[in-house]
Chain A
Amino acid sequence: KTQVEQSPQSLVVRQGENCVLQCNYSVTPDNHLRWFKQDTGKGLVSLTVLVDQKDKTSNGRYSATLDKDAKHSTLHITATLLDDTATYICVVGDRGSALGRLHFGAGTQLIVIP
């Protein structure tokens, strides 16, 4: 059973617009949640990690929230650029060390058009 669900599956926005990506999960325990960016055919690059029960992070034009009570996270991208075209993957870790397992969402494919 899929434990990390991402929505939408795909999204097309115009350059300069803002967008929001959603992640819902059922992983227990949920130690932390990380968002990755994956360019087509490339590896995963970490954007941000959220740890606290209700957490917020900001990394340039990327900001994220986590609500562990709702088991829900959002990734906001502000003023999108063409280079933001990628797949964004939500990953939930069940422990705070390498002894834990990571649970991967299938990703949201974001396409930014001129």
Chain B
Amino acid sequence: EAAVTQSPRNKVTVTGGNVTLSCRQTNSHNYMYWYRQDTGHGLRLIHYSYGAGNLQIGDVPDGYKATRTTQEDFFLLLELASPSQTSLYFCASSDVTGAGEQYFGPGTRLTVL
């Protein structure tokens, strides 16, 4: 069973604050993803990576940076948080040969006041 963990699980910050969301997967997957989930929308891809040091832009990247430090760890950075970034954030991982199946973490709920 694929294991993807996220921290923190909940975070509250203020407008203009600096936030880092962490994701770790322990299944040696090459690909990792960051999504946001908002009511009335499907999950939307922010950034993804296919290996340590690699970063690819997703569909809604504005206001977000990401860094993949190792195969296991993928971070999402909000350097000047805004209320519009209040959301539920999911990390996922997949193997390049896994027929497109992604394994999801439990999510981080971020509130920007």
**A positions within 8 Å CB-CB of B:** 2, 4, 31-32, 34, 41-46, 49, 89, 91, 93, 95-107
Q: How far is the CB of A59 from chain B (nearest CB, A)?
A: 15
Q: Which residues of A contact B40 (CB under 8 A)?
A: 106
Chain B count of residues within 8 A CB distance of the other chain = 26
Give the total number of A-B pairs whose CB atoms are below 8 A apart.
62
Interface centre among B43, B90, B94, B105, by most A CB within 10 Å?
B43
Q: Which of A32, A42, A93, A103 contacts B42 (CB 8 A)?
A: A103
Q: Considering the chains assembled together, what is the distance between the CA atoms of A104 and B100 in angstroms?
A: 13
Q: How far is the CB of A29 from chain B (nearest CB, A)?
A: 12
Q: How far is the CB of A58 from chain B (nearest CB, A)?
A: 18
Identify 23 residue pairs between A and B in the complex whose beta-carbon atoms are under 8 Å apart, listed by A's number. A2-B42, A34-B101, A41-B107, A41-B109, A43-B107, A45-B104, A89-B43, A95-B100, A96-B100, A97-B98, A97-B99, A98-B30, A98-B31, A98-B50, A98-B100, A98-B102, A100-B100, A102-B100, A103-B42, A104-B43, A104-B44, A105-B42, A107-B42
Q: Which residues of B contact A100 (CB under 8 A)?
A: 100
- Asked if B106 contacts A4 (CB within 8 A), the reply is no
Q: How far is the CB of A56 from chain B (nearest CB, A)?
A: 18
Q: Which residues of B contact A105 (CB under 8 A)?
A: 42
- In the complex where A32-B100, A97-B100 touch, is A43 in contact with B105 (Cβ < 8 A)? yes
